[in-house]
Amino acid sequence: MEKFVTLNASNLSSGSLLPIGFSSPCRKSAVSVQRRRVHVTRASIAVEQQAQTKVAVIRVGTRGSPLALAQAYETRAKLIASYPDLAEEGAIEIVIIKTTGDKILSQPLADIGGKGLFTKEIDEALINGDIDIAVHSMKDVPTYLPEKTILPCNLPREDVRDAFISLTAGSLAELPSGSTIGTASLRRKSQILHRYPSLNVLENFRGNVQTRLKKLNEGVVQATLLALAGLKRLNMTENVSSILSIEDMLPAVAQGAIGIACRNDDETMANYIAALNHEETRLAIVCERAFLTTLDGSCRTPIAGYACRGEDGDCIFKGLVASPDGTQVIETSRKGPYTSEDMIRMGEDAGQELLSKAGPGFFGN
């Protein structure tokens, strides 16, 4: 008898996440709440096993981390809201797929193959017909999709900013000289060191949110940075000491966005997920990924990019490349109509500008 994983009902809707008055990341904000100790156990995700009683209408492929499961169940909730018949027990099955990136935590991603390590096995299951749709964190998705797959749907984007978490300080600026920050992200490392060269960065600080917070509690590092979007989806924002503005820490391309893929010949699934697509988010991700594709970025190159709709309705894009040690940071920005063609052009043009400014040796491995 097949088994599938279900989540606590309190996690089935993004409406249950804590808004706590966070302002739009397109505008500057200063939120600072100090905490003495982070809480690792309150992920609000209860995993249980239930017997599969019927053939599922939609099999949803996902990684098995608490955050990945929260995103899969957010997708499930939105499918049910759009198609009430899918609320019947067993109609939607969550299929957990362990990826290479989940299995190998002792090495940096760049040393074992890069971003595709979090999507490869899920994509293979999709192509082979073992699942019907795949739910991905968009920042994990390589710029080129596998053959026979399409990714036409993005859910509404969460807050793109990074959260600072520490037991002893309220912000990066409050950390004493020589303090160690844990992160697996070269993007975060380079921007931290660019502004605070007296700090140390512990690289390969990998693992899911709970694992990283456990290491922080154990004193392995004095602070860490995590995507605020993930903490909100896990109802763990009580851990946040402060939130970094876009100006202080430009986010990763597609940070905070969930993507849903299906096979390119599966019209039924394409129609199901079309109802979930948030076009404003999809266009922003298209712009950012055009920028990343132009740079041909890898996990060895610190790259950040963010597109959003400004108050006048136009697209505002900001991008940067940096040296891993933070000594060089090259930035650019664009503004133009919020349309697919214009936003792709903005992303590509911004990427070409940074390639030209950086020079041929900048992106060498």
Provide the annotated active-site residues.
140
Could you tell me where the beta strands, DSSP code E, fall in 86-209? Answer: 92-96, 133-137, 149-154, 162-166, 180-182, 200-202
Angle between helix 340-358 and 279-295 (nearest 10): 30
> Which amino acid does the sequence have at 199?
L
For residue 309, give Cα distances in angstroms to 11, 43, 281, 351: 28, 31, 9, 19
78, 88, 96, 82: which is closest to 57 by C-alpha?
88
Q: Given the structure tokens 């955050």, which residue do they identify?
A: 67
SS3 call for 352: helix
Question: Cα–Cα distance between 309 and 317 in angstroms, integer?
Answer: 9
Q: Which residues pair with 303 in a beta bridge?
A: 321
Please report where in the chains the tokens 């002893």 appear, as a residue. 168
Sheet holding 200-202, edge to edge: 31-32, 242-243, 162-166, 223-227, 180-182, 200-202
